[in-house]
Amino acid sequence: MIRPSVPADEPRLLELTAETGVFVDYDIETLEGVLDDYFDSESDANEEGNHFCFTDERDGRIVGYVYYAETDYADRTWYIWWIAVDRSGQGKGVGRELLRFAEDDARPAGRG
């Protein structure tokens, strides 16, 4: 089930991202700062409402997430900042579902 990410998810999102083997230490450190800001109710990311993080949880376990934001430089343009899937879920369509969810959410009928 894809749901909005909550502050309690942050440790698992960082762990999952590191375990993929795709991201370097700098990426993980940056993600930690971005998530700290995202979950801070007074941050610009929440105040402006243009950053989004959604978690895919199955059987009580987080198997992936997507973090995306609208760019300030072009109208109706979005960036996927991070998308990661637990190794056990890779190759099983989890990433595809997360990407599709983000695309649908950002379309004009959604947020864009």
Q: Does domain 2-106 have CATH number 3.40.630.30?
A: yes
Distance CA 8, CA 20 (A): 20
Q: What integer pLDDT is reported at residue 17 of this predicted model?
A: 96
Q: Give tens-digit pLDDT for 26-63.
A: 999 999 999 999 998 755 555 556 889 999 999 999 99
Confidence of residue 109 (pLDDT cuts 50, 70, 90): very low
Q: Indicate whether 21 pLDDT > 50.
A: yes
Domain range list for the chain: 2-106
Q: Are 112 and 106 in contact (CB under 8 A)?
A: yes
State the pLDDT at residue 111.
57
Instruction: Encode pLDDT of 56-108 as tens digits.
Output: 999 999 999 999 998 877 777 889 999 999 998 888 999 999 999 999 988 76
